[in-house]
């Protein structure tokens, strides 16, 4: 099989349908950026999964092309790694226009956004990742740009300041967010299409892995694909990352083929268990069960117990642990479910694990109110 290095890869200044270098994780190395870029689908026909969003988006784009106008602004919402950036790039590819990429935290002043908007060509796509983190002054400027394709540039300060209206080319804003609840109402209402991304089924992840293996030149068996897909947390980005690590193991310690045995051995080496939990996930569960009797315990206390920041535990570990039925969030704190005890190979306490049970009298000496209420 050929690899993406043999086929030629998108360049940074590539035209429509090609992927710019900044379309991948900026923290990745050069080779990793090249591989991530190559694995992204280039059209809706190549995009796997999210059938409802894909069908709806196809209608939006086709209608806009027939009218000869830019489509309505698009908001893509959902957990990380489900394809929001890929869909934004696909929108530009399907429309035959350029895609300009930025992120909410990078837009600190309204002037930064005004300069970016004034440089857009007719029908271009502006993709703002993590749009819920955009600065408030820039967000307010975005309202007029989205509705009237005009921005007011303020010149001067104080009583002598004047606003100069500046016309901008019609464009399509594609916003991506992992925290839709943090978007303000006025911004959310200005999007003509909102797509909610869902976690992938195992069968769809196997299709993603088959496509990625072909692009990477990896011989992947059906059993090996199923094993990787089952540990990928329903997320294509994680599936592709695990495939690359299993590929390394297969090339160094086996014959290069990714079989069931090779996949299991590689994933065990990288501390990814049968459910897809990694070292940090298991540390959180183990601390909750072994040190706090299954809870309830506050997230700050739990974070200290595993040596991590509270927001890391809350935003990185908890979503999957809750979805997997291993952890529950209650008004009194985090509680391990019976499934968590069993997954760790421990006996479930007699009488089961009632959610939200109190393990200590908060008025008793030495008890911690933070453990009960820091949820």
State the average pLDDT over residues 81-110. 90
From the number of C-beta atoms within 10 Å of its C-beta (0-12, 13-18, 19+), residue 375 rates as middle
Distance between CA atoms of residues 51 and 127, nearest Å: 22
Active-site annotation holds for 178: yes
Mean pLDDT of the chain: 81
Q: Assess whether 210 and 262 both reside in one domain.
A: yes
Question: Would you say residue 33 lies in a domain?
Answer: no
pLDDT for 357 beyond 50: no
The domain of 79 spans: 41-196
User: Is residue 14 in a domain?
Assistant: no
Distance (Å, whole) CA 283 – CA 336:
13
Most confident of 138-152, 159-173, 263-277, 318-332: 263-277
Q: Is 17 contained in some domain?
A: no
218 in the same domain as 247: yes
367 pLDDT band, cuts 50/70/90, is very low
**Range with the poorest average pLDDT among 38-47, 319-328, 359-368:** 359-368
- Whether 300 and 262 map to the same domain: the answer is no
104 and 191 in a common domain = yes
**Helices and strands (DSSP H and E) totals, the chain:** 17, 11
> Residues 53, 179: one domain?
yes
213 inside domain: yes
* CB contact burial 144-165 (16+ within 10 A = b; e otherwise): ebbeeeebeeeeeeeeeeeeee
Whether 165 and 248 map to the same domain: the answer is no
Catalytic member of 124, 129, 204, 278: 129
Q: Last residue of a domain, which of 179, 196, 213?
A: 196
Domain assignment present for 332 = yes
User: Per the domain annotation, does 360 fall within a domain?
Assistant: yes
Q: How many residues does the chain have?
A: 375
List 85, 97, 172, 235, catalytic entry: 85
What is the arithmetic mean of pLDDT over 106-119?
87
Strand partners, 196: 77
pLDDT score, position 157: 65
Is 85 a residue of the active site? Answer: yes
Catalytic residue among 178, 259, 301, 337: 178
Calculate mean pLDDT across residues 122-147.
91
The CATH number of the domain holding residue 48 is 3.40.50.300
User: Which of 237, 247, 282, 329 is the catalytic position?
Assistant: 237
Cα angle 278-284-286, degrees, rounded to a multiple of 5 = 95
- What CATH code is carried by the domain that includes residue 246? 1.10.8.60
Within a domain: 153: yes
- Catalytically annotated residue among 84, 231, 247, 334: 84
Cα angle: 145, vertex 147, 149; to 5 degrees = 45
- Residue 129 is a catalytic residue: yes
Domain assignment present for residue 22? The answer is no
Which has more confidence, 363 or 302? 302
100 carries an active-site annotation: no
For residue 334, indicate whether it is catalytic. no
Residue 3 gets the label, from left (phi > 0), alpha (psi -120 to 50) or beta, of: beta
Output the pLDDT for position 191: 94
């Amino acid at each position: 099989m050929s690899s993406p290095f043999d086929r030629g890869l998108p360049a940074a200044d590539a035209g429509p349908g090609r992927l710019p270098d900044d379309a991948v994780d900026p923290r990745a190395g050069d080779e990793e950026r090249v591989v991530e870029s190559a694995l992204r689908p280039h059209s809706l026909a190549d995009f796997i999964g999210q059938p409802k969003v894909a069908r709806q988006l196809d209608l939006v784009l086709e209608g806009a092309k027939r009218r000869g106008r830019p489509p309505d602004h698009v908001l893509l919402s959902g957990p990380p790694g489900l394809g929001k950036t890929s869909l934004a790039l696909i929108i530009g590819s399907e429309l035959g226009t350029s895609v300009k990429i930025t992120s909410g935290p990078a837009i600190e002043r309204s002037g930064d956004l005004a300069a970016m908007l004034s440089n857009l060509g007719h029908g271009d796509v502006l993709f703002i990742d993590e749009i819920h983190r955009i600065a408030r002054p820039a967000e307010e400027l975005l309202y007029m740009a989205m509705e009237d394709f005009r921005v007011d540039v303020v010149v001067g300060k104080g009583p002598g300041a004047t606003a100069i209206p500046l016309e901008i080319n019609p464009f399509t804003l594609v916003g991506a967010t992992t925290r839709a609840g943090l978007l303000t109402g006025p911004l959310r209402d200005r999007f003509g299409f909102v797509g909610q991304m869902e976690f992938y089924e195992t069968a769809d992840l196997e299709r993603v892995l088959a496509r990625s293996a072909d692009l990477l030149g990896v011989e992947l068996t059906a059993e090996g694909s199923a094993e990787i897909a089952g540990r990928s947390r329903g997320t294509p980005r994680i599936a592709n990352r695990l495939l690359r690590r299993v590929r390394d193991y297969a090339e160094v310690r086996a014959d290069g083929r990714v079989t069931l045995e090779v996949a299991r051995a590689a994933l065990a080496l990288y501390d990814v268990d049968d459910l897809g939990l990694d070292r940090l996930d298991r540390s959180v569960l183990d601390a909750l069960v072994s040190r706090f009797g299954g809870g309830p315990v506050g997230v700050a206390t739990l974070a200290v117990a595993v040596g991590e920041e509270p927001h890391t535990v809350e935003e990185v570990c908890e979503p999957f642990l809750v979805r997997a039925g291993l952890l529950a969030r209650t008004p009194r704190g985090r509680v391990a479910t019976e499934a968590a005890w069993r997954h760790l190979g421990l006996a479930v306490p007699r009488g089961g694990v009632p959610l939200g049970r109190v393990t200590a009298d908060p008025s008793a000496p030495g008890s911690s109110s933070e453990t009960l209420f820091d949820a």
